[in-house]
Amino acid sequence: MHSNPSRNNIRGHYPGTRYPKNEALSNPFPDKASFTIKIIRNIAQGKANKEIADELCISVYSVATHRRNICSKLGIHSPAGLTIFAIINHLVDINEVKPL
């Protein structure tokens, strides 16, 4: 039985890309890491899509799309969940998080 190389990748990562298990767990965004991290940091800081779009010089629709893809990839579907993810993974300092 022949194996399909695209099926050997770790679930949840970009199709056709293979990573060692440890690397995949430590960096869930290997391709667009810095941009994705900027989006997550801004969400964790309590910024609205419009504020994020202005800061990163992209459209509000692009922010919404990136946000949706990040949430889908991580299995986190709330700003609070993304904030916790950002704090746990040292993407944002807890003092940078906007209180309610």
CA distance 43 to 81: 10
Supply the pTM of this predicted model: 0.65
Would you state the pLDDT for residue 97?
82
Q: Tell me which of 11 and 43 has the higher pLDDT.
A: 43
Residue type, 96: E
Alpha-carbon distance of 55 to 6, in angstroms, equals 36
List, in order of start, the domains of the chain with CATH numbers: 34-93 (1.10.10.10)
Residue 32: predicted pLDDT: 56
pLDDT at 72: 93
> pLDDT for 10-22, tens place per residue?
444 444 444 444 4
Instruction: Write out pLDDT tens, residues 45-78.
Output: 999 999 999 999 999 999 999 999 999 999 998 9
Flag whether pLDDT at 89 surpasses 50: yes
CA triplet 56, 95, 73: central angle to 5 degrees?
50
| Predicted pLDDT of residue 22 | 40
Termini Cα distance of the chain: 56
